[in-house]
A = this chain, B = another copy of it.
Amino acid sequence: MPTKSRPAPPAPFEPPARVLLGPGPSDVHPRVREAMAKPLIGHLDPVFVGLMDETQELLRYAFQTENKLTLAVSGTGSAGMETIVVNLIEPGDPMLVCVNGIFGARMVDVAERARAQVTTIERPYGETFDPDEIRRALKAHPAKVVGIVQAETSTGAWQPLEEIAEIVHEAGALLAVDAVTSLAGVPLEVDAWEIDAVYSGTQKCLSCPPGLAPVTLGARAVETLAARKTKVQSWYLDLSMIMRYWGSDRFYHHTAPISMNYALREALALVAKEGLEARHARHALCGQALQAGLAAIGIGLATRAGNRLPQLTCALIPDGVDDLAVRKRLLADWGIEVGGGLGPWKGKVWRIGLMGHGARASNVTLFLSALETCLRDLGVDVPVDASVKAASAVLEQTGQPVSV
């Protein structure tokens, strides 16, 4: 007989209507949501095995790679980060981490827990790294692995990667890239840029619910796994076992999150349907329109010019405007969620995401008109519709509707 009494059973949960324009999760396409509701099949069912194969092939397209070891880890993007670090690092291995925001800093913490000898190079929030800095850092402190973030979710900074792998490889190291916020939003050419290991998340530009972490590892990284002298410290994230589960022998490891894998498969099918080029162009145009709209009402951007992601804009909160008051009003009156600043940018910026299914012209104008209203009501002098007009001028450049 249970001793703790039965709580009143709640009615089915009904989420309020939201427009997710923060740093993630982003709004999920209806086809992906429908997939989540389909009946389960077993994780070793031949049909599910087929779905895993199909997902791997679709992921290879999204990552632009032929890497065999391309799969979705059964955790969120942070589990992807930990997977890459604990598999490539053995205790005492030197690792160089490039830190220009929260997620670079997190990689340091993860690497230290894996007992790496961590060296860092740092850049202020909103800036990115020059290849030469990395070259110098590796000369001073040779490393086994170099970790860098392509799209810093805390700052909206877009790190160019094209020249970095060569420098890293010349120094005998592996390049590990955080692509949580970049995958399927801006170009990421894993093979052409010779990146050795990448992790991502599902809830940003893939517009899938959070819960899986796509990863891909190239030949050099796979050799490093094979040459390990110690077991990976995490059983759950040990790729030597996970790859056998996703591979041809279907060795049982853990029970894959069935419904989440349904969702990822549909999200990736939508990427294939649209095509990466069109998808990148859509994100670029929406971001450019948003940034033009903000400029038109005098709102500055926190991220250094030339390094701004289109899918995540860090807008400077105007002097005298209360961060939380605006965000609460956006949520209450329009159902719009945007993100607040993190670390040194707390209270100073809004992080506005136009990601995946959310990167649509209608969201740009909805957000700008809502923001204009909020600011005007707070006494900020904002010319009526100036931001929407400036954004629309950008959006109309292509002569085609920007939607999905």
A interface residues with partner B (beta carbon < 8 Å): 1-4, 6-18, 20, 22, 24-25, 27-28, 31, 33-43, 45, 47, 51, 54, 57-58, 60-61, 64-66, 74-79, 82, 106, 109-110, 112-114, 187, 189, 191-192, 201, 203, 209-211, 231-237, 252-260, 262-263, 265-266, 269-270, 272-273, 275-277, 331, 337, 342
A283 to chain B, nearest CB (A): 14
Is B42 within 8 A of A235, CB to CB? Answer: no
Asked if A39 meets B15 with Cβ closer than 8 Å, knowing A187-B2, A234-B113, the reply is yes
Assess the A34–B37 pair: CB atoms within 8 A.
yes
Instruction: Give the distance to chain B from A54, nearest Cβ to Cβ, in Å.
Output: 6
Q: How many copies does the complex hold?
A: 2
> Secondary structure at chain A's binding surface: helix, strand, loop or mixed?
loop
Q: Are A260 and B211 in contact (CB under 8 A)?
A: yes
**In chain B, what residue has the closest Cβ to A253?**
B78
Chain B residues near A4: list those with CB within 8 A.
Answer: 60-61, 64-66, 191
Residue in contact with A9 in the complex, picked from B39, B112, B253, B269, CB distance below 8 Å: B269
Q: List 18 extra interface pairs beyond A1-B277, A6-B275, A33-B36, CB under 8 A.
A: A11-B269, A15-B38, A15-B47, A18-B41, A20-B42, A27-B40, A33-B38, A74-B211, A75-B79, A75-B236, A76-B254, A78-B236, A113-B231, A113-B234, A203-B255, A210-B256, A211-B260, A236-B237
Establish whether residues A16 and B41, one from each chain, have CB atoms under 8 Å apart when the complex forms: yes
Complex CA gap A262/B41 in Å reads 20
Q: A254-B77, A255-B24, A255-B201 are in contact. Are A8 and B232 (CB under 8 A)?
A: no
Q: Given contacts A201-B255, A235-B113, A260-B260, is CB(A209)–CB(B40) below 8 Å?
A: yes
Inter-subunit contact B110/A189 (CB<8 Å): no
CA distance A41 to B331 in the complex (A): 11
Contacts A7-B272, A36-B36, A42-B22 given; does A266 touch B12 at CB 8 Å: yes
Cα–Cα distance between A191 and B2 once the two chains are bound (Å): 11
Q: Give Cα distance in the complex from A45 to B189, angstroms.
A: 34
Q: Contact at B209–A10, with CB atoms within 8 Å?
A: no
Contacts of A276 in B (CB 8 A): 2, 6
User: Separation in Å of the A326 CB from the closest CB of chain B?
Assistant: 16
Question: Bound complex: CA of A275 vs CA of B7, how far in Å?
Answer: 9
- A54's contact among B10, B51, B233, by CB below 8 Å, is which? B10
Can you offer 19 A-B residue contacts whose CB atoms are under 8 A? A1-B277, A3-B64, A6-B275, A6-B276, A7-B272, A8-B272, A12-B34, A12-B266, A13-B35, A15-B38, A15-B47, A16-B47, A18-B39, A28-B40, A33-B39, A33-B259, A77-B254, A79-B254, A211-B211
State whether A109 touches B235 (Cβ < 8 A).
Answer: yes
Contact: A38 with B18, CB < 8 Å?
no
A113 to B238, CA, bound (A): 11
Contact, CB under 8 Å: A273 / B12:
no
A347 to chain B minimum Cβ distance, whole angstroms, is: 15
Q: How far is the CA of A72 from the CA of B57 in the complex (A)?
A: 31
Minimum distance in angstroms from A262 CB to a CB of chain B: 6
Please tell me if the beta carbons of A235 and B47 are within 8 angstroms of each other in the complex. Answer: no
**Bound complex: CA A265 to CA B37 (Å):** 15
B residues in contact with A34, CB < 8 Å: 12, 37
